[in-house]
Amino acid sequence: MNPVLEPLFRTVRATHPKADLRVIERAYEVAAHHHRDQKRKSGDPYITHPLAVATILAELGTDDETLCAALLHDTVEDTAYGLDELRGDFGDTIASLVDGVTKLDKVKFGDAAQAETVRKMVVAMSRDIRVLIIKLADRLHNMRTMRYLPEHKRHQKSRETLEIFAPLAHRLGMNTIKWELEDLAFAMLYPKRYDEIARMVSERAPRRDLFLQEVIEKVSGDLREARIRAVVKGRPKHYYSVYQKMIARDVAFDDIYDLVGIRVLVDSVRDCYAALGTIHARWNPVPGRFKDYIAMPKFNMYQSLHTTVIGPEGKPVELQIRTHAMHHRAEYGVAAHWKYKEEVGGPGPVGKVKPGSDMAWLRQLLDWQKETADPGEFLESLRFDLSVSEVYVFTPKGQVIALPEGGTPVDFAYAVHTEVGHRCIGARVNGRLVPLESRLGNGDTVEIFTSKSPDAGPSRDWLKFVKSGRARNKIRQWFSKERRETAIEAGKEAIGRAMRKQGLPLQRLMSGEALLALARDLRYPDVSALYAAVGEGHTAAQTVVQKLVASIGGVESAEEDIAETSLPTRLRGRPRGGGGAGVVVAGDADVWVRLSKCCTPVPGDEIVGFVTRGHGVSVHRSDCTNIQQLRSQPDRLVEVSWSPGDDSVFLVAIQVEALDRPRLLSDVTRTLSDQHVNILSASVTTSRDRVAVSKFTFEMGDPKHLGHVLKAVRGIQGVYDVYRVSGAGG
């Protein structure tokens, strides 16, 4: 046997004892032969990649056909080895798996192409789910070795991983793959946020581990007394899931991280419920936090009992109780099908998704992608569909329909049929009439009333409350077909109204070039499409106006003279000459000089002077957006140079980015005060992803002191980035 294969075979023997090792060895030899002259970006021989993918799949317990296809998955695309030759050597099943993976890889990148990739993936999945399992393992190994790619490629692949591959791994129940994909992509896309969470986790780990150990010992002792054989261990914390919980629950890191997670593994379903009773006998359960996923499994075959109890020191403890078989399925999902298929009643032909199986979601997705003509729209809906929890409701005949959490009768109507959705005029839930925007709950029985009028159609207001991608798309499609012209007019009017409200120069901002450039930035083919998008409610008029203003360098640059935005840097009287501001104008020492507020220049920056009307010379950094606009008047630009004196005071603007938490702002302002800087203005915004962005403008006598200020702020807990910006506008 080839010694290179020994680690792989050791794993295969442990997880799939009946696998045919000879065919796997033959597949390796063919792949190694055809990839022999190829290298990866890291410089390693190419065969290391298929071998790593096969090893990942072996750890999941997949069958020998899947492992062979994994070893051969790049041969057809990257070498002279053809599909027919592969079919002759290894048979139809392995050839069709390799063909499925090759088709997914052949699609070019870019937004529409990426959407097309996902659609092909869904089609391939529906034929044989193992194609997607190989693709996920392929993506996982690529993410592990992503550092050798250029930065833009790393970001593109990481975003794709977070938006498409990790949620699909979740849908297939493959949690080990999902968690690792998420953490790798998170570290690649947001390295500073990742490092800050990792730092906060490691700082608290010792204290938390002691508490965890105490809980584990008490639970183990109680279960031993009750004669229940169990393995009790702590649940690993994944950095991305910690971050997501901070966002979803809108709480600070400490509140999430203090929540201890315990997993209890027992031998039988009866033991699961016995263990639950034993734990509840010691600690009080938190009302509303008990979930029985054993009696009602999740869409991806996941089964467990979930409960939260008030543990030692009054701290909440989350527990998951499941059998060893359930645990294997929770970790490896559909990849565990082959090992445990007797237990779930057998999924039919290996890898096929049959009607009524646990993976009915895949069939629903397949039907849905056939209906949606535009790949971009399909991708948007798929991202939404992958990111939400579900509720299960019944039709009057007892058929179960899955809807996103918070789904309404309108979502239900569109899930039944597009025409039922379009003609929906009312609904009855559990026998009572309810408004169309009512939220449906698990187990509700829903009956829809439809209009018989030939002119019946959806209401635009429905877009405000529908939750499913399908319903939203169907409503938008109806409006875009029926009312495009009206939408264009409405959009144009809405943008004009938003500008007038802010007193902005309409003519300059509505010029064809500025709008066309913005339309292209927002990925609309022309200005009409942008107007229509605003009219149909896809994009807010206010957003368009803000982006327009930003594209021409801010509101100030719409005025001829931007000097009014400047602030004197000396507050004690009006200085004559440039000495007080620390700047000298070439050829004339007796000119009033002001450092512009829009880019807050300090000694060391390259600067340019602009002669204002009646306000002396306004000094800007040479890379200031406003000065770019004023280069069209070269006769008003003058040469200036730094000449700071002891009494010169400069404005500095910094931006602080941090994971939001209570008292963050007071900690930052206290640190700035400790550094003896005089804060003139501060602004704080917190985004939905729990990132607080604070901007501070302050006075400084010596710009060299800035490095110490930035270092001090960077040391505050939660702060992952701080840097100087070119002014109040960033």
Q: Which residues are catalytic?
A: 77-78
CA distance 50 to 68: 10
Residue 134, CA distances (Å) to 51, 121, 129, 399 in order: 12, 11, 9, 34
Q: Which helix (H) or strand (E) covers residue 638, if one does?
A: strand 637-638
Q: What is the distance, to the nearest Å, from the Cα of residue 562 to the centroid of all Cα atoms in its chain?
A: 39
In the numeric block, which tokens belong to residue 287?
Answer: 């009302």
Burial-class residue 210 by CB neighbours within 10 Å (0-12, 13-18, 19+).
exposed
In the numeric block, which tokens belong to residue 209?
Answer: 């581990």
Phi, psi of 250 (to 5 degrees): 55, 50
Task: Tell me the residue ranges of DSSP E strands in 360-399.
Answer: 390-394
Whether residue 462 contacts residue 427, with contact meaning beta carbons closer than 8 Å, is answered with no
Identity of the amino acid at 480? S
Burial-class residue 219 by CB neighbours within 10 Å (0-12, 13-18, 19+).
buried
Q: Which residues contact 453 (CB under 8 A, 6 or more apart)?
A: none
> Comparing C-alpha atoms, which of 627, 624, 625 is closest to residue 611?
627
Q: Which residues contact 25 (CB under 8 A, 6 or more apart)?
A: 1, 2, 5
Identity of the amino acid at 674? D
Q: Which residue has the tokens 């901070």?
A: 246
Other CB atoms within a 10 A radius of the CB of residue 247 amount to: 15
Judging by DSSP bridges, how do beta strands 291-292 and 305-310 pair with one another? antiparallel
